[in-house]
Structure 1
């Protein structure tokens, strides 16, 4: 279920229009101008004076403050900011609730100096009976904090608690009923296998409410008195986006959103891709928002197709960070084939591991003949309370807070501290025993990032502050924990050896299987690649990219810890390992998965990330043979908007290396496309990309396969286990795709998105059952291998090595002559 608009249309259209024009009429509607001695009008609403609202407030000491309007900046000149109430001790508002359910709590803050109180120095907490809204909160400029809580009793108590040696203050407060259907109980999680339920019990804090492609929408133009801000300040790349407006086209209807979900002025404007006149445009429009670590977020997307001229002309994808949350979205199908009908979509994130949350839209690559475009009309991001009912990250609560909140927090913190101390004591004892047994034989000291030998960063295991690698990157594991996970690096647990070092199978304390890559001090790959791997993988979360679980840099070690991939490398399933052969459909699905991972690298962020070492050994398979791209040590961010390439020393693997990159030392995304083309032929032929034991013309797989492809006889060189099992059309499409990837010039190669589309089409052709066509054992299938290919005599081949990083422009050199002599298929 997509979770789109869940409001039902009002009973009668006339009544519907009346309600739409008049707005929501809340049962509970408390508006107080704190510190004021008279009522204050804001738009068509009246905030009553403190005197009139004194019956709601319990405070040991009354301090009312006021300031001249001239001291308030023009951008923050709300009349609500002229006065404030100061709380020197714990104080509370108690509001009778006539209608249980969700309510807004809006708190207005504007710090100014009154007598001996400098409100910019105030620190305090705010809580309800069941939730902590703010803790150790301070504010230095005008601020509106908006919360949404579900009230289940006949009263709502809001407590203000000054931090130690400080005070609290408040300029104005709203407690207002919310329509029942504004937030329903469930939503889809970004994790495809999970449906999140329990939103009704959640306290929410508004992090962002954005009007895409339009100006600020003030509370006076919103039925629920919300303010929507423009999206320009959140756009990662403004050059890739443009605004569109057609407010008059918006048509609210049954099954879609209502004005209470968002007003016409939001649905009538949009930010869309600025594709220019390029029908092959393929990039994402991305917005970035600041969030708190460790919390889930409810992300609400607002859509209204005001840009299309006809039905089924707009298909696009939607992402939160690296998660795909909507694929091939066609808004016209959501409203019984009517354009410009508002809809919304709710998604719940996983607990955040970064302080940045990115939302992206991009064109679909799966629909032919559609001009590339994507739109977003509005966006809301709401923080959800954590497991102890808090919306605050700091959780510093005074002992005078509400008793039940204090008990929950106190017990939780006490248990947590006890567990942490016990774990630390256990690890220290174990570490001492292991160190006594092992001695100190390590001699490798890698180059320091900051001029010393420490690589410590803040993490869940450490309070390190030397931010040599940004502190929000991954998790830092203690060395003793890695030793324990790998049975002290048991050689029997080695599952692979690469240029960086050995890879061990391991298991964490909670049973999670991991792959542990331990750097070899004699390896030519070192600190730079270690850093790159951490920096990139800690940002990426995609189902077709191997996830980084953590790292360790203690004792001059460089250790990377990944999710464990049960079925190893794609290469091991093609040749050389004795594993069962993969079927053609399995191989296609693996290639499609790897292409999706590369496509995300190239388009998922404002700057493309170029892998630079795409090969079958770096495509891993999980227990279901789902492909994930791995090994980002050589990766580089792509060129700037006004550049065509990145100039860099040549790195990569023999046999997969883009000849244009090799000649000119100019790196682009198309270098990855070339390498992937080699992988495609490797998948088809199931043989090494460089094999010096073969006749000279066959040593280099790419050259050899291209000869047969251009002759139209690719079936002559396929893996013998696939003979008679590939439909001719599927093979033809696959061969054409690989051929295009291996074009001599990068500009002639397709994008990874185009490669992905063609591979999926090849899979469809393989699946297709054409009427009257026999099944896979048909003589129409690819015939037997040519005898001249099956019977290959071993031939000695001359070998010539070279230093890749010192190669100059070799445009005039025969790449056939160069590549036919490269023999180290795993070398870099």
Structure 2
């Protein structure tokens, strides 16, 4: 049952016995009643007073109520549940309140058969100060003990809880009641994030809502009873809600969390919640890169609004500012690039929580996912969640108001419906008359651009960026591949064919029916995540062909799928050949040729179109190698069109990978092609030193490759950090020019960096020095190009580079050529 919170008399195992009991929270208002009892009863070291019909601070007003007792209670059931108050007519409890504000109200229901009542057959409604909390409530068959918990604001000195039986033979009951003051900061009116298809915005006045607790989850931990919670709550494990258990790995800490002012308090969640978590299971060989951890919780369906409170505490990172991840709810982006370090006062393991307001859909499930951010480094790609609470926002109108409004809306609806039908009939006649007079003008595919992709049951999505021109006369339809063919080629997505994974989804090796080897990138079926990247990849790759850019063979959007099919790159990512995978080390010549090939591909992206294309995610994992070690740039999901001719930059949110990200772009959120140049500079040092862009296992000075390598370059001692496998191969002048090229790429400001054309020219220069030991003849009479120590001079290109660019910019209408890596199939994809 979605609303069942716990079975209180089932013994539970506490996760950490070493955590000391917290000092109990002492609420100003604290009313605990054992209903139907003549004596006090205890539960979790709390004393519940016997209810009474005599006048007092906790008074019962119910002429038609009786006390009932279970004569044969289960051996392990609490004494509190051995009695109950049964209401055969309208009855209430009244409490004098000392303070207005947010309060907890809990109802304990534990049905049994006694005297003339079978409590499982009770049917009744409950309201608090006129707010209807339970309407025609009835315990389901098989239900045992249940707690219904509400959080609401009390704005009077009197709180009245009214029980109303439903039907002539109906009755209500309750075993125990709790009414107590919540901490002042438990529900705050600002800071919650309203998540919907239109984006994220702030949700205000949250404390005015009546909230019903649906789920309270200790992620990565065991069940916690009220003994370990200062607000006497129960937290249950997340195992039953994990969608794909292999994606998650339990994490735990033996250190008490660092509670800080402004973060979460012990009343928000106990220490044991923040001392356990689920993190990405990166040790799973089938999940080697980017993926999400997803939980699915049953909730009320049909657009019911919920408060989702997620708890975080970084217990997995060795240092601050290393953990960046994204949060998704129901497939929508809820929090992009979440950095827990920025939400705390610069201290690890500091608990925080984030509130989200989300409407449920028709599925009856609430999906919560966490996954790596685009800012995550490849070595520290991770995401975690420590706890989750889901509370339903209750419609607080009483039943009489509901019935009156329903009747009013029926009347209004009838009138409005009649008027609308009449107007539609008039409009239809006018449109038909107009269409007869004017024949519609035919429009070509090129004139309207690409029809938006239809996905997820046929829902229409927004048009792709208009900056990307539409393709040739066949449009995008020529790239479509039937789902059945992809399913056959991958042996129904056999996991043994997985060759990698990314933020979009799993990548499978496959062979199409025309014997073409391909890589099939499959988005998570039915997920809305990755849609912008899916659209961008198709838009960009369908209009470009270059020997150093990975080609798109086709795509599929059937059956709620998002699938991209690329040419297969036999040798895989460049990163795999540099470190960590056991491949034979590349020679210095091979590394230079790979860098030159990648630079050619990027240079074509930047200059081959009116505005150019900025890749935004250049890194060693996105430079792939074919069977001949020819480099091709891949993964265009984050690409953007460059600035217009009269603009200097594109203003956009920061995207990219941690360690490769242009610091100027990060600070100013102004994107230029020089951001790709910076990332490529990191790759150059990665190729030279054979180590990751970010390695938290190293000393603080060595963690960031770009900063560390620049220090050695500026000292003129770059040879000290060269990959030992090639240290004897590199000629000093070749190394010197290579280091200067990388250094210029990593300039703090984009205006001081070279263009990719300059980088390409200099890399070819480095190769020439390495092979001949002689300096290249000056180009265009520019003597500065001869000296290996000179700075970059825009416009200096060697003839062969110029020829290469002209060669690759030939018309896209050329049919087949060995120049292009674009794969052609017998069906014309």
Query: By the TM > 0.5 criterion, same fold?
Result: yes
Matched with 2:52 is 51
Q: Deviations over 1:760-786 (max 9, x none)?
A: 969665346545458999536996996
Tell whether 2:379 aligns with 1:376.
no
Deviation per residue, 1:426-459 (Å, 9 max, x gap): 6777899999x99xxxxxxxxxxxxxxxxxxxxx
Among 131, 151, 155, the alignment partner of 2:154 is 151
User: Is the 2:217–2:235 contact (alpha carbons within 8 Å) kept by the matching residues of 1?
Assistant: yes
2:373 is the counterpart of 1:364 = yes
**1:111 CA displacement:** 1.9
Paired position in structure 2 for 1:292: 300
Structure 1 counterpart of 2:401, from 393, 408, 413: 408
Work out which of the residue numbers 167, 179, 183 in structure 1 matches 2:183: 179
- Verify the 8 A CA contact 2:622 2:635 in the aligned structure 1: no
Take 2:406 and 2:449, find their aligned partners in 1: how far apart are those partners? 38
Cα gap change, 1:684 to 1:358, in 2 (>3 Å) = same
SS in 2 for 1:722: coil
**The one of 330, 344, 367 aligned to 1:335:** 344
> What is the CA–CA distance in structure 2 between the aligned matches of 1:67 and 1:639, rounded to whole Å?
60
Output the CA distance in 1 between the equivalents of 2:635 and 2:275. 33
- Alignment check: 8 A CA contact 1:109 1:172 kept: yes
Alignment deviations for residues 440-494 of structure 1 (CA, whole Å, 9 cap, x no partner): xxxxxxxxxxxxxxxxxxxxxxxxxxxxxxxxxxxxxxxxxxx99x999x99599
1:262 match? 269
Shift of 1:152: 0.5
Shift of 1:84: 1.2
Name 2:542's counterpart in structure 1: 682
The residue correspondences of 1:135-214 to structure 2 (distance < 5 A) are: 135-140=135-140, 141=143, 142-165=145-168, 166-186=170-190, 187-191=192-196, 192-214=199-221
Call closer, same or farther: CA 1:561–1:354 in 2, change over 3 Å: same
Give the alignment partner of residue 660 of structure 1, picking from 504, 511, 524.
511
2:665 is aligned to none
Deviations 1:38-59 (A, max 9, x none): 1111132111112277752222
Indicate the SS of the match to 1:22. Answer: coil
- CA positional deviation for 1:115: 3.1
Structure 1 vs Structure 2 CA RMSD = 5.5
Q: Which residue is 1:98 aligned to?
A: 98
- CA–CA distance in structure 2, aligned partners of residues 39 and 291 of structure 1: 36
Q: Return the offset for 1:298.
A: 1.3
Residues 209-248 of structure 1 mapped to structure 2, 5 A cutoff: 209-248=216-255
Shift of 1:422: 4.0
- Per-residue deviation, 1:342: 1.5
* Structure 1 residues 26 and 766, CA gap change in structure 2 (3 angstroms): same
Q: Quote the Cα distance in structure 1 between the aligned partners of 2:460 and 2:114.
A: 56
40-49 or 124-133: bigger deviation: 124-133
Shift of the 310–796 alpha-carbon distance from structure 1 to 2, 3 Å rule, reads closer
SS at match of 2:317: coil
TM-score, with normalisation over the residues of structure 1? 0.60
State yes or no: 1:643 paired with 2:527.
no
Cα drift, residue 128 of structure 1: 1.9
Contact 1:90-1:162 within 8 A present in 2 as well: yes
Deviation of 1:93 (Å): 1.7
CA displacement at 1:749 relative to structure 2: 11
Task: Indicate the residue corresponding to 2:460 in structure 1.
Answer: 562
Aligned: 1:344 with 2:252: no
Question: For the structure 1 residues 817 and 360, does the alpha-carbon distance in structure 2 shift closer, same or farther, using more than 3 Å as the test?
Answer: closer
SS at match of 1:173: strand
Rounded to whole Å, the distance in 1 between the matches of 2:812 and 2:52 is 100
**Contact 2:674–2:755, Cα closer than 8 Å, also in 1:** no
Mapped to 2, the partners of 1:561 and 1:495 lie a distance apart of: 23
1:318 aligns with one of 319, 327, 340: 327
Q: How much does 1:719 deviate?
A: 9.7
Residues 53 and 60, structure 2, Cα contact 8 Å, conserved in 1: no
SS in 2 for 1:416: helix
**Alignment match, 1:61:** 64
Deviates more, 1:29-38 or 1:235-244: 235-244
**1:717-728 paired onto structure 2 within 5 Å:** 722=609
How far apart are the structure 2 equivalents of 1:172 and 1:316? 43
Aligned partners of 2:534 and 2:453: how far apart in 1? 30
Shift of 1:60: 3.4
Q: Helix, strand or coil for the counterpart of 1:217?
A: coil
Q: How far has the Cα of 1:280 moved from its partner? A: 3.8
- In the alignment, the residues of structure 2 paired with residue 750 and residue 772 of structure 1 have an alpha-carbon distance, to the nearest angstrom, of 27
d(CA) in 2 for partners of 1:411 and 1:718? 64
Match for 1:766 among 657, 669, 674?
Answer: 674
Contact 1:678–1:689 (8 Å) recurs in 2? yes
Q: Secondary structure at the match of 1:412?
A: helix
Cα distance 1:144–1:323, how it changes in 2: closer, same or farther (>3 A)?
Answer: same
User: May I ask how many residue pairs the two structures share in their alignment?
Assistant: 603
1:98-117 residue pairs with structure 2 within 5 A?
98-117=98-117
How big is the shift at 1:104? 0.7
Structure-2 change in CA distance of 1:711 and 1:111 (3 Å): closer
What corresponds to 1:779 in structure 2?
795
Give the SS at the match of 1:311.
Answer: coil
Compared CA separation, residues 566 and 791, structure 1 to 2 (3 A)? closer
Are residues 420 and 248 of structure 1, via their aligned partners in 2, closer, same or farther at CA, if it must alter by over 3 Å? same
Relative distance call for 1:106 and 1:497 in structure 2 (3 A) is farther
> Does the 8 Å CA contact 2:615/2:638 hold for their aligned counterparts?
no
Assess, with a 3 A threshold, how the Cα gap between structure 1 residues 66 and 641 changes in structure 2: closer, same or farther.
Answer: farther
Change over 3 Å in CA distance of 1:773–1:281 after alignment to 2: closer
Contact 1:299 1:346 in 2 (8 A): yes
1:455 corresponds to: none
- Measured in 1, the distance between the counterparts of 2:240 and 2:813 equals 64
For residue 178 of structure 1, report the CA deviation from its aligned partner: 0.8
User: Would the alpha carbon gap of residues 147 and 132 (structure 1) be closer, same or farther in structure 2, given more than 3 Å must change?
Assistant: same
432 and 504 in structure 1: CA distance in 2 versus 1, 3 angstrom threshold: farther
Deviation, 1:223, is 0.9
C-alpha contact (below 8 Å) 1:645/1:666 kept by paired residues: no
* Match runs of 1:411-560 below 5 Å: 411-422=404-415, 425=418, 492=440, 533=455, 537=456, 560=458
**Paired residue for 1:283?**
291
> Secondary structure in 1 aligned to 2:349?
coil
**Partner SS, residue 670 of structure 1:** strand
Shift in Å, 1:233: 1.4
Please state if 1:670 is matched with 2:521: yes
Q: Distance in 1 between matches of 2:255 and 2:606?
A: 60
Kindly state the Cα deviation for residue 109 of structure 1 after the two structures are TM-superposed. 0.8
Q: Is the 8 A contact 1:681 1:738 kept in 2?
A: no
Deviation at 1:83, TM superposition (A): 1.3
Displacement of 1:99: 0.5
Ranges in structure 2 where 5+ consecutive residues have no aligned partner? 1-19, 499-507, 524-532, 554-565, 569-592, 640-654, 663-670, 679-748, 758-793
Residue 253 of structure 1 aligns to a residue whose secondary structure is coil
Deviation (angstroms), 1:617? 6.6
CA distances 1:663-701 after superposition (whole Å, capped 9, x unpaired): 5799974378999877544344699989xxxxxxxxxx9
SS at 1:380 equivalent: strand
Residue by residue over 1:177-230, the C-alpha shift from the partner in whole angstroms, topping out at 9 and shown as x without a partner, is 111111111212225452100112111111111111111111122111111111
Deviations 1:372-396 (A, max 9, x none): 322211111111134xx35xxxxxx
TM-score by length of 2: 0.60
Bigger-Rg structure (1/2): 2
